[in-house]
Structure 1
Amino acid sequence: MLKLLRSKYVVVSLIWVVLLRTLRVPVFPRNVQHLLDLWNRKKIKE
């Protein structure tokens, strides 16, 4: 169950990154970076 959730999050975040890259929208890049940083910290803690 957790693995499924985690992979879903990975897929969603990957799609999100790809979308942002393809659209090249300079909308809240700081927020995205912040979220990525938080997510990475969570991963490191585990």
Structure 2
Amino acid sequence: MKYHGPDTHAFPFACTVSYGRFAAQVWSQQQQDAFQRISAQYAMLANDK
């Protein structure tokens, strides 16, 4: 999701993912970077057995 608010120093892009009882959230200045980071987080959550 993209942040639309009054804080000019906030990261504009945030992604959240959950897997089982765990969740991860990442923030970034660039949309593609946020997608790559959340994909890596999901991979770690899904493959950690």
TM-score (norm 2): 0.39
TM-score (norm 1): 0.41
**Structure with more of its chain in helix, by fraction:** 1
**Structure with more of its chain in strand, by fraction:** 2
- Larger relative contact order (CA 8 Å, sep ≥ 6): 2
